[in-house]
């Protein structure tokens, strides 16, 4: 159980959370304003805020924020000890918003996973996972991705020498599997069309052994700037970046061996890590983002070389995004053939990665090849 001081900090953060101020941003701001809080207390407050949003629909909204936070932590502890303490019907009714049922069948294992704290995954540089695991300790391997490590220790990883030397990135396992699925080769030319801060770009660049070229585009200049800092730390230089707003005014006339569209999405696959979003995301967001995703795919499709592959990835699980977009895109592009995602050991051209199967975010990946 948390002490009154921690509960008081949690309650104060909760009062500043709103649809415009997501929980993680509210926490960052609170810690910026309260620099005297110890790392241990910060961890407890962050944990308490996220636990509150995981258990929000079990709480009495009339009670004080402290009382609600305390009850959420109680439910969390009880669930940790016995995940069957909550009935499947209660999970289906309370762990997610009602509209999700229109978009997704809700396996009980998935709902249980949503109520757990998320795992922390690292991506070691290719072939360096064993050395990194020995240096950091508290790392577990997975057969799913050769460079992925599940970190269970308490260190602040951003302060480790290994991080500053660019020996690993913090990257969720589901995101790593997008890079694995893309399987670019050294010397090829790729386009990471929605690169953001470049989490997946860095993985592609590593898999290409720092050879060939990756065009790195996003509509956010700020995110591209962060990518440049990250690539310098990782000593990866096989890229060039440009702003692109997703319209048919393409950033280059070049043709590519591979294009990754890691598209903006509703983020339902991240709801274990980001529980506040369960209560701010709407079905209208899902529908709007599906249109954006289809537009992005339509605009990049002509930039593939013959034989080139297009990968569509979204960290969401809704039908309207994922399969809905993939089907509409396939129907409009007979020049592209759905291609098996062989690097993930799949004979199918699309796959849904579930949080409860991976112990990571949810992700949908689809692939086509220009014939």
Ligand X SMILES: C[S@@+](CC[C@H](N)C(=O)[O-])C[C@H]1O[C@@H](n2cnc3c(N)ncnc32)[C@H](O)[C@@H]1O
How large is the C-alpha radius of gyration of the chain?
Answer: 21
Q: Does 195 bind ligand X (CB under 6 A)?
A: yes
**Is 265 an active-site residue?**
no
Q: Does 197 bind ligand X (CB under 6 A)?
A: yes
Phi, psi of 368, rounded to the nearest 5 degrees: -130, 160
Q: Is 271 in the site for ligand X (CB under 6 A)?
A: no
* Residue 48 makes contact with ligand X by CB under 6 A: no
Nearer to ligand X, 48 or 198 (CB): 198
Classify residue 154 by its DSSP letter: -
Alpha carbon distance 295, 266 (integer Å): 16
Q: Are strands 363-370 and 213-218 parallel, antiparallel or unpaired?
A: unpaired
Rounded to whole angstroms, how far apart are CA atoms 169 and 166? 7
Q: Which residue, judged by CB position, is nearest to ligand X in the bound state?
A: 246
Distance, CA of 321 to CA of 100 (rounded, Å): 12
**How far lies 20's CA from each of 24, 84, 271, 277, 279, in Å?**
11, 35, 17, 11, 12
CA-wise closest residue to 244 among 265, 234, 259, 232:
259
Which C-beta is closer to ligand X: that of 154 or that of 245? 245
- Interacting residue with ligand X among 8, 108, 220, 330 (CB under 6 A): 220
**Which is catalytic among the residues 139, 194, 265, 315?**
315
Round to whole Å and give the CA distance between 300 and 254: 11
Q: Does 246 bind ligand X (CB under 6 A)?
A: yes
Specify the stretch interacting with ligand X by CB under 6 A; choose among 15-23, 129-137, 192-200, 337-345: 192-200
**For ligand X, which residue of 118, 196, 212, 362 counts as binding (CB under 6 A)?**
196
Among positions 9, 54, 123, 200, the unique one binding ligand X when judged by CB under 6 A: 200
- Nearest to ligand X of 9, 273 (CB atom): 273
Contacting residues toward ligand X, per CB under 6 A: 175, 194-200, 218-220, 223, 244-246, 262, 264, 292
Query: Which residue numbers are catalytic?
Result: 315
């Amino acid at each position: 159980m948390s002490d009154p001081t921690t509960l008081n900090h949690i309650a104060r953060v909760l009062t500043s959370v709103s649809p415009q101020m997501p929980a993680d941003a509210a926490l960052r701001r609170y810690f910026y304003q309260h620099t005297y809080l110890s790392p241990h207390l910060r961890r407890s407050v962050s944990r308490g805020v996220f636990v509150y949003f995981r258990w929000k629909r079990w709480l009495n909204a009339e009670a004080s924020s402290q009382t609600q936070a305390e009850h959420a932590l109680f439910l969390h502890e009880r669930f940790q000890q016995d995940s069957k303490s909550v009935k499947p019907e209660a999970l289906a009714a309370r762990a997610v918003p009602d509209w999700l049922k229109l978009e997704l069948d809700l396996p009980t294992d998935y709902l249980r996973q949503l109520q757990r704290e998320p795992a922390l995954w690292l991506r070691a540089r290719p072939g360096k996972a064993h050395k990194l695991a020995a240096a950091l300790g508290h790392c577990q391997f997975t057969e799913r991705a050769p460079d992925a490590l599940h970190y269970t220790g308490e260190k602040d990883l951003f302060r480790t020498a290994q991080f500053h030397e660019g020996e690993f990135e913090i990257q969720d396992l589901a995101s790593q599997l997008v890079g694995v699925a893309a399987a670019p080769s050294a010397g090829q030319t790729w386009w990471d069309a929605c690169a953001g801060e470049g989490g997946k770009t860095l993985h592609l660049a590593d898999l290409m052994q720092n050879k060939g070229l990756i065009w790195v585009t996003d509509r956010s200049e700020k995110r591209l700037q962060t990518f440049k800092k990250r690539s310098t730390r990782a000593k990866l230089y096989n890229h060039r970046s440009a702003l692109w707003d997703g319209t048919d005014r393409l950033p280059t006339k070049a043709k590519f061996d591979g294009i990754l569209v890691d598209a903006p999405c509703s983020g339902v696959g991240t709801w274990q890590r980001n529980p506040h979003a369960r209560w701010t995301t709407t079905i209208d967001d899902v529908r709007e983002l599906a249109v954006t995703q289809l537009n992005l795919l339509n605009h990049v499709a002509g930039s593939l070389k013959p034989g080139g592959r297009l990968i569509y990835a979204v960290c969401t699980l809704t039908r309207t995004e994922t399969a809905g977009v993939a089907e509409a895109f396939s129907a409009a592009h007979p020049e592209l053939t759905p291609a098996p995602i062989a690097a993930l050991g799949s004979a199918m051209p699309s796959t849904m990665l579930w949080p409860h199967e991976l112990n990571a975010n949810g992700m949908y990946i689809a692939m086509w090849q220009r014939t």
